[in-house]
């Protein structure tokens, strides 16, 4: 057997071994996506027994749907603010956990507690804390009682606080993994040269940590953009749809209104937004050399 034949046989063997995983992935991921796309081209309302093909009319209506535009704005704002705050809090936390001090293991374990709590349980816990009558926050808040989840403008920020509390530990652990991959010889050489802590951080730590930062941004941005459970438990999208995200709007349209055609359109658009975000981050990761 020549070298070319051996190479062809190896490729065929590799394809044969990968085929089952590809088929399973197509069954659990690709088929539902294609089914949602096909359903989005229909007017399908179960309550009225209506089922007919309408082409791209749902997508044309979506561009005029002010509720969709509001949900898109809420989703983008939630993602931008939550991910930014999480990175700002996770960076010093990761730097602290990367230092050697007594009780470091206990600190790392305790940091994981918010992340380990299921999102629905955590959101319900915070809903009780936000309660305007007997919640802990109003007991500690000076002055008049505040309806944290019932006031437009406050409710979305209250949901952001819950997300930040729960997922900052996850971002910190990702950054900690990146910090532990930086060679210590670089820090020793910088100290010998007389570089101060800030100069070391900006010239050594931050540049070498950029791949881990991008990965954390990728994971958290995609997760925050698809947020559903925390906000649904806290407000169900209220008050007056001021906390309604794309996922919640799609759920209400599908499951409450029974409009499967337009609900599928919302789901497809949400999926496309997530894909575009992922491609943008992957391009940045490729430039930084992570995916090479």
Q: How many domains are contained in the chain?
A: 2
Q: What is the pLDDT of residue 6?
A: 66
Q: What is the pLDDT of residue 135?
A: 82
Residues 135 and 245 both lie in one domain: yes
Question: Per-residue pLDDT tens for 94-132?
Answer: 988 888 778 778 888 888 889 889 999 999 999 999 988
Q: Under a CB-based contact definition with an 8 Å cutoff, are residues 175 and 209 in contact? A: yes
Q: What is the pLDDT of residue 285?
A: 76
Task: Assess if residue 62 is contained within a domain.
Answer: no
Task: Assess if residue 58 is contained within a domain.
Answer: no
Task: Assess if residue 182 is contained within a domain.
Answer: yes
Q: For the domain that residue 228 is a member of, what is the CATH number?
A: 1.10.3720.10
Look up the domain containing 8 and give its range: 3-53
**Bridge partners, residue 43, by sequence:** 52
Residues 127 and 212 both lie in one domain: yes
Q: According to the 3-state scheme, what is the secondary structure of 149-167?
A: CCCCCCHHHHHHHHHHHHH
Instruction: Round the average pLDDT of the chain to a whole number and report it.
Output: 87
The helices-and-strands tally (H runs, E runs) of the chain is: 14, 2
Residues 19 and 71 both lie in one domain: no
- Chain-centre distance of CA 123, in angstroms? 16
Q: Give the C-alpha separation, 118 to 277, whole Å.
A: 26
Q: Give the C-alpha separation, 121 to 203, whole Å.
A: 41
Residues 36 and 137 both lie in one domain: no
Residues 10 and 96 both lie in one domain: no
Q: Give the C-alpha separation, 175 to 226, whole Å.
A: 22
Residues 32 and 106 both lie in one domain: no
Residues 83 and 219 both lie in one domain: yes
Provide the strand spans (E) within the chain. 42-45, 50-53
Residues 206 and 272 both lie in one domain: yes
Q: Which residues, including other chains, have CB under 8 Å from residue 187's CB and lie 6 or more apart?
A: 200, 204
Residues 161 and 282 both lie in one domain: yes
Altogether, the residues listed in the chain come to a count of 292
Look at residue 292 and tell me whether its pLDDT is greater than 50.
Answer: no
Mean pLDDT of 250-264: 91
Residues 139 and 221 both lie in one domain: yes
Question: Per-residue pLDDT tens for 137-159?
Answer: 888 877 677 888 988 889 999 99
């Amino acid at each position: 057997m020549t070298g070319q034949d051996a190479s062809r046989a190896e490729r065929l063997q590799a394809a044969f071994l990968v085929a089952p995983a590809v088929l399973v992935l197509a069954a659990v991921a690709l088929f539902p996506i294609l089914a949602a796309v096909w359903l989005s081209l229909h007017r399908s309302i179960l309550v009225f027994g209506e089922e007919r093909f309408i082409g791209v009319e749902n997508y044309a209506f979506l561009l005029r749907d002010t509720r969709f535009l509001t949900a898109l704005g809420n989703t983008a704002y939630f993602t931008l603010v939550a991910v930014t705050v999480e990175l700002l809090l996770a960076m010093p936390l990761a730097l602290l956990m990367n230092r050697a001090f007594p009780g470091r293991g206990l600190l790392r374990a305790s940091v994981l507690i918010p992340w380990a709590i299921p999102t629905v349980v955590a959101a319900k816990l915070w809903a009780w804390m936000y309660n305007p009558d007997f919640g802990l926050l109003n007991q500690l808040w000076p002055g008049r009682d505040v309806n944290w989840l019932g006031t437009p403008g406050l409710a979305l920020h209250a949901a952001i606080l819950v997300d930040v509390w729960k997922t900052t530990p996850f971002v910190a652990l990702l950054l900690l993994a990146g910090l532990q991959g930086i060679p210590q010889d670089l820090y020793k050489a910088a100290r010998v040269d007389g570089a101060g802590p800030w100069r070391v951080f900006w010239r050594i730590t931050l540049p070498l940590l950029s791949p881990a930062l991008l990965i954390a941004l990728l994971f958290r941005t995609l997760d925050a953009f698809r947020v559903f459970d925390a906000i649904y438990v806290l407000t169900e999208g209220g008050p007056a749809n001021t906390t309604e995200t794309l996922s919640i709007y799609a759920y209400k349209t599908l499951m409450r209104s029974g409009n499967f055609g337009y609900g599928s359109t919302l789901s497809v658009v949400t999926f496309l937004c997530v894909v575009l975000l992922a491609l943008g981050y992957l391009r940045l990761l490729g430039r930084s050399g992570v995916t090479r």
